[in-house]
A and B are shown apart, each in its own frame.
Chain A
Amino acid sequence: MLLKTFDPLKGKQLRIMDENGEIVDEKNMPELTDDQVVEAYKYMLYARQVDLKAVAYQRMGRLFTLPPNLGQEAAAFGSAYALDKKKDWMVPAFREMAAWLYWGATAKDLYLYWAGSEDGNVTPDDVNFMPSAVPVASQVPHAAGLGYSIKYKGTDQVVITYFGDGGTSEGDFHEGMNFAGVFKLPVIFFCNNNQYAISVPRRMQSAAKNLADKAIGYGMPGIQVDGNDFFAVYAATKEAAEYARDGNGPVMIEAETYRRGYHTTSDDPTKYRTAEEEAEWEKKDPLIRMKKYLEKKGLWDDDKENDYVKHAKKDISAQFKEVEEYPRTSLEQIFKYMYEEMPDILKKQKVEMEKYLAGKEGR
């Protein structure tokens, strides 16, 4: 059992596939068909295209500030793929594009959100996921709350919530983890340790050797995985989901990965890290190693890749066109969704804003 064998306190990290696409831990290789592995790669490749396009659109002034995902696709997708998207809950932060896409959001939804429309946050009826949470770790207690409701109702769902290395320093992280631990709630706390909380490096974030160590204090198992290894992420999350679904309580997973891009498009990483470091991590990129693995197995090649990327880009451009043709965000959206019924204070603010805008146009 992975959760027992890979004790973070003993410095153990689960890695199944290395940087060259070689399987280095055959014993723990998850049971996936070739088709599933190809499907997984396609999802990640698609997510990467959506992400790269998003940054390009932002740089043209066609989208607002957004957080690039480059390099974190395996952590987001591998964990999502291990769950049952027809019944489980996903509670995201804001850098899990691949998980969103798998769960049922479209590129259009994601773009709409970063173009300033709340409509991008609308969840399809048959799936369970929460909207993007930009405030750091505010979603962690929400996930614990969802876990509590699942336990109360006695369904066999699990919740996965994402946060970053920086999120582990927040009070919300403690409260959510502690609550889930005390009540043995079916929640997977998934930490995308991408080495930087904006410009704060991991070593400045916590004195703990590994972030997964924190699980111990809340009485739950913790495991650290190579977050750029799809198989390791998938295997660990799969086991965590089974553990939680069986009523054993929460699990914390730390996926060690690297944010290859900007924190957001308003950030300049050259100010706080070196080109050498970025080059080192580029070698560990999750898609590069997955492609090598697939090529060795004869499941993928450059032609397939080029065809797929071309197809993906066309599809994404078409969706973006819909976003650009989408009606302008209404003022109401800003006030509408926090409460079922708008409280007086928000009504007042809305009226003030309307007056302001009317005055602006009248001039």
Chain B
Amino acid sequence: MLYVFKFPDIGEGIHEGKILKWHVKKGQEVMEGDPVVNVETDKVVTDIPIPKDGVIKNTYGKEGEVINVGDALVEMEVEGEEAEEEAEVKAPPKEGREAEGEPASRTEVAKAKTKTKKIEEKGFGVVGQIEEADTDAFLPATGEGMEAQAAVAAEKEPGRKALATPVARKMAMDLGIDINTVRGTGPAGRVMKEDIKKAFDEKQAGPKVARKPGKIEIPAEAEDMVEVEELTQIRKTIINRMVQSKFTAPHATAFEEVEVSRLVELRKEKKEELAEQGVKLSYMPFIIKAVSLALRRHKSLNCKLDMENNRVIYQKFYNIGFATDTPEGLMVPVIKNADRKSIIEIAESIKDLSDRARERKIQLDELKGGTFSITNYGSIAGTYGVPVINYPEVAILGVGRIVQRPVVKGGEIVPGNVLPLSMSFDHRIVDGADAARFIKDLMAMLADPLTMLMM
């Protein structure tokens, strides 16, 4: 008759083992006590002896594979025995754990199953799945069943302590993984080594958005029709940052037009005066100043969203990044504490930082610490755009080219200077109304620069 020997629980509630070496082959005759396979568990490396005399019909699992306690290990033909209940179970490896009856085992092997439970949240549909340990799991060898049940109950609470073997804990520690954050797939939610490996691999891969894009083949006939260039480090950074931003922050963009004739006049007036002092006065210093002052009144546009800790961090400093076109690609130097700098100081900073960015002499910390960014594509060409937020900032202002256009003033059509603005914001934390209120203040300052003195 056929007899199935399942991988036994050979340690204190172990759950799985890795097959290191098979000692037997199909068709081989074996005696009770003969070692059939060498396995490695969380605790030991050992040979597993066979409980009966007979002939091996099948072995399950290849060397290097991980098997679970209760999985069929060996199927054998045993002579001269009546078919026993357990022997009728022709358990393929996958179903081994589910099969009832423990061959040749008077001790109850822990048969913990995990089932996947869908957790639904009202209004959002299925937002996630959690592995819920079956509370039937009762490990008689160690009495961990009780603990396990407690662990299941605690799973929904923050700060729960994961159920795991010391080996697994050490592995997690060595890999820099907080074991309490790892979802356990073992009995009673136990965190297994493979769970930790998975968590580590995911961590290594970084956020999913940073994954490498697909491969593009160049057809042989087109080889001399294309120019291939390796990506520079700067470009790789831009790629990652753009993708991360677009796939993390849901962008919404508001468009506005400001009549800036007064600003144009003021600039014109001061431009030559300052040129004598060696300062090049563009519109940017005015815009940066106005933005920084508006941010002081609208904290939600100067915040950071910390999803890991479920909190918003409102920043009480106003560091404005400005997109700079360099031969290597886009760079965003940051003007620190722009709200406390004069327009002339800002103008000087812009020149200094952008010159050094183009010469690649800019320091790393001058590209960091921004709280809000401005991209001035209008200095080249462009009216409106949908700028990409410089994540993890929550908003970016796109500045278009000032165009002379007829505008209506006091019921009259007069020539006007119109500045188009496009502001993208992270709609998770910035509501449309907040964005509109911010833009309204900003427009007031740009329409009448003197307002800035009042802010």
Interface string of A286-323 (1 = CB under 8 A from B): 00000000000000000000000000000000000001
CB-based closest 8 A-B pairs: A61-B8, A56-B49, A268-B44, A266-B43, A266-B11, A60-B51, A324-B106, A56-B33
- Which of A61, A266, A360 lies at the interface centre, i.e. has the most chain B CB atoms within 10 A of its CB? A61
In the complex the two chains form, is A265's CB within 8 Å of B10's CB? yes
Closest-by-CB residue of B relative to A359 is B135
- The stretch among A10-18, A36-44, A62-70, A129-137 that forms the contact with chain B is A62-70
Chain B 138-154 per-residue mask, 1 if CB under 8 angstroms from chain A, else 0: 10110000100100000
- Determine which of B8, B33, B136 lies in contact with A363 in the assembled complex, contact meaning CB atoms within 8 Å: B136
The smallest beta-carbon distance between B444 and chain A, in angstroms, is 68
B: residues with CB less than 8 A from A are 5, 8-12, 33, 43-51, 102, 104-107, 109, 135-136, 138, 140-141, 146, 149
Contact of A274 with B by CB under 8 A: no
CB atoms of B45 and A270 under 8 A apart: yes
Complex CA–CA separation, A268 to B41 (angstroms): 10
- A356/B146 contact (C-beta < 8 A), A262-B44, A266-B11, A267-B44 known: yes
A128 at the A/B interface (Cβ < 8 Å)?
no
A115 B106 Cβ-Cβ under 8 A: yes
Residues facing B in A91-122 (CB within 8 A) are: 115-116
Please, how many angstroms separate the alpha-carbon atoms of A360 and B138 in the complex? 9
Given contacts A116-B140, A267-B44, contact A60 B12 (CB under 8 A): no
Give min CB distance, A359 to chain B, whole Å. 9
Contacts of A270 in B (CB 8 A): 45
Most buried by B among A64, A116, A262, A363: A64
The distance in angstroms between the C-alpha atoms of A240 and B203, with both chains bound, is 64
- Which B residues are CB-close (under 8 A) to A58? 10
Interchain CA distance A328-B106 in the complex, whole Å: 8
CA distance A56 to B102 in the complex (A): 17
A59 close to chain B: CB less than 8 A: yes
Contact, CB under 8 Å: B43 / A61: no
**Distance of A296 Cα from B106 Cα, bound (Å):** 45
| B contacts with A: majority SS | loop
Pick the residue among A56, A62, A265, A268 that contacts B107 (CB under 8 A): A62
Given the interface pairs A56-B33, A266-B11, A363-B136, the reply to whether A62 lies near B51 with Cβ below 8 Å is yes
> Is there contact, CB below 8 Å, between A64 and B141?
yes
A60 to B47, CA, bound (A): 10
Closest chain B residue to A356, Cβ basis: B146
Whether B136 and A360, one on each chain, are in contact in the complex, defined by CB atoms closer than 8 angstroms, is yes
Provide the main secondary structure of the chain A interface: loop
Q: Is the CB of B44 within 8 A of A64?
A: no
Quick check: B47 and A65 within 8 Å, CB to CB?
no
- How far does the Cβ of A56 sit from chain B's closest Cβ, in whole Å? 5
Whether B45 lies near A62 (C-beta < 8 A) is no
Check B8–A59 contact: CB distance below 8 A.
yes
A363 to B105, CA, bound (A): 24
- Do A115 and B107 touch across chains, with their CB atoms under 8 A apart? yes
Nearest-neighbour CB distance to chain B for A271, whole angstroms, equals: 9
Q: Are A61 and B107 in contact (CB under 8 A)?
A: yes
A116 B12 Cβ-Cβ under 8 A: no
CB distance from A55 to the nearest CB of B (A): 9
Contacts of A356 in B (CB 8 A): 146, 149
A-B contact pairs, 23 of them (CB 8 A): A53-B33, A56-B33, A56-B49, A59-B48, A60-B8, A61-B10, A61-B105, A61-B107, A62-B8, A62-B106, A65-B12, A115-B106, A115-B107, A262-B44, A265-B44, A265-B46, A266-B11, A268-B43, A323-B106, A326-B106, A360-B135, A360-B138, A363-B136
Which A-chain residue is minimally distant from B43 (CB atoms)?
A: A266
A268, B42: Cα distance in complex, Å:
10
Q: Are A265 and B11 in contact (CB under 8 A)?
A: yes
Instruction: Report chain B residues within 8 Å CB of A363.
Output: 135-136
Report chain B residues within 8 Å CB of A267. 43-44
Query: Interface readout for A343-363 with B: 1 if CB under 8 Å, 0 if not?
Result: 000000000000010001001
Q: What residues on A are CB-neighbors of B8 within 8 Å? A: 59-62
| Cα A63 to Cα B107 with chains together (Å) | 7
Q: Tell me the smallest distance from the CB of A50 to a CB of chain B, in Å.
A: 13
A60, B48: Cβ atoms under 8 Å?
yes
**Cα separation A267 to B8 with both chains bound (whole Å):** 16
Note all chain A residues with C-beta closer than 8 A to B141: 64-65, 116
Interfacial chain B residues near A328, Cβ < 8 Å:
106
Residues of B within 8 A of A59 (CB): 8, 10, 46-49
Known A-B contacts A266-B43, A267-B44; the reply to A61 vs B9 at CB < 8 A is: yes
Most buried by A among B43, B47, B48: B43
A64-B107, A116-B141, A266-B12 known; 20 other A-B pairs, CB under 8 Å?
Answer: A56-B33, A59-B49, A60-B5, A60-B50, A60-B104, A61-B104, A62-B51, A62-B107, A64-B141, A65-B12, A115-B107, A262-B44, A265-B44, A267-B43, A268-B45, A356-B146, A360-B135, A360-B136, A360-B138, A363-B135
Give bound CA distance, A65 to B11, whole Å.
6
A56–B12 Cα distance when bound, in Å, is 16
Once the chains are docked, how many angstroms separate the CA of A270 from the CA of B50?
A: 23
